[in-house]
Amino acid sequence: MTHLRQLMLDELQRRNYSPSTVRCYIHAVTDFSKYFHRSPERLGPSHIREYQVHLFRDRKLSPGTIQSRCTALRFLFVKTLRRPYLLDEIPFPKRPRKLPTVLSPEEVARLIDSARNLMHRTMLMTLYATGLRRTCSVTPRALMVCETRMWRWTTFTPPHHAANAARCGLFLLRRVHFRDECLNVHWFETLAEAKQLIEAWRQEYNDSRSHRALEDRTPSEFASQYAASRVLTET
């Protein structure tokens, strides 16, 4: 192991970076060094510029991947080699912003009905009701199975802000309220009971309860007023 590699590892460990982040940073710096066949200590702004162009033009990497490479190079030159003046020489590429795909109520119903068993159906209903990412359905942190009863949820990834969700036509539920007022109160012995209780809570949350984030309006009122304002704007 070279002195520079050990120095960078020490700086990463001092900041308690995760093992996956450490591996990504070391891989990015190693690739940068191999491209020029010399130590990064002997490389400067012109080499950084050439390497970034190479990633875009020759290797055709995505902006997100190149941004992670740039983050690693910034850490190398600024934190490890103590060259803060090179920060402006390592710009982040602009990443295109994509509009989310919003499913219609009929499409959501077909998706939930396609579940083959109670476990999968309950997971789909919970993901849709709380606005969680699909990756939460396959990670241990998303939910926990109780062997003696049925389901018991633990930690969740926070959903999007209620106002942003309403602008997209979705009424995403706040995880704390949903967990404390529904999941921690009821045990779902059957699918019909789970569907009935979750739907009742969802309707009350969206149609009857006002929210400070929506200026003391219900999500239904906010969505209706937002849709009306868009119609006036387009006309």
> Do 78 and 109 lie in a common domain?
no
Task: Read off the pLDDT of each residue in 90-105 and give the average, rounded to a whole number.
Answer: 80
What value does the mean pLDDT take over residues 197-220? 77
Q: Is residue 100 part of a domain?
A: no
Instruction: Assess whether 22 and 127 both reside in one domain.
Output: no
Residue 190 shares a structural domain with residue 80:
no
**pLDDT tens sequence across 148-180:** 344 443 333 333 444 444 443 333 445 556 767
Distance CA 73, CA 205 (A): 46
More confident residue, 66 or 213: 66
Whether residue 166 is found in the same domain as residue 201: yes
Same domain, 139 and 222: yes
* Angle at 222 (CA atoms; ends 169, 105), nearest 5 degrees: 30
Please give the Cα distance from 207 to 201 (Å, whole number). 10
Contacts 24+ apart (CB under 8 A), 190-193: 191/118, 191/121, 191/122
> What single letter denotes the amino acid at residue 27?
H
Count of structural domains within the chain: 2
Q: Are residues 132 and 214 in the same domain?
A: yes
Is residue 217 helix, strand or coil? strand
50 and 134 share one domain: no
- Same domain membership, residue 184 and residue 132: yes
Q: What is the per-residue pLDDT for 135? A: 61
Cα separation, 30 vs 109, whole angstroms:
48
98 in any annotated domain: no
Residues 68 and 119 grouped into a single domain: no
Q: How many CB atoms lie within 10 A of CB 78?
A: 15
Quick one: pLDDT at residue 171?
Answer: 39
Strand partners, 144: 152
pLDDT at 1: 64
| Residues 53 and 141 both lie in one domain | no
- Segment holding 145, helix H or strand E: strand 144-145
Say whether both 52 and 132 belong to one domain: no
Q: What is the pLDDT of residue 165?
A: 42
pLDDT (tens digit, 9 = 90+) per residue, 54-97? Answer: 999 999 999 989 999 999 999 999 999 999 888 888 998 888 87
- The pLDDT of residue 155 is 38
Identify the residue with better confidence: 50 or 218. 50
Give Cβ neighbours of residue 202 (< 8 Å, ≥ 6 apart).
Answer: 129, 171, 173
Other beta carbons within 10 angstroms of residue 61's beta carbon come to 15
> What is the rounded CA–CA span in Å between residue 161 and residue 201?
19
Residues 6+ apart with CB under 8 A from 1: none
User: pLDDT value at position 6?
Assistant: 92
Is residue 9 packed enough to be buried (19+ CB in 10 Å), middle (13-18) or exposed (0-12)?
middle
Same domain, 51 and 116: no
The boundaries of the domain holding residue 111 are: 105-234
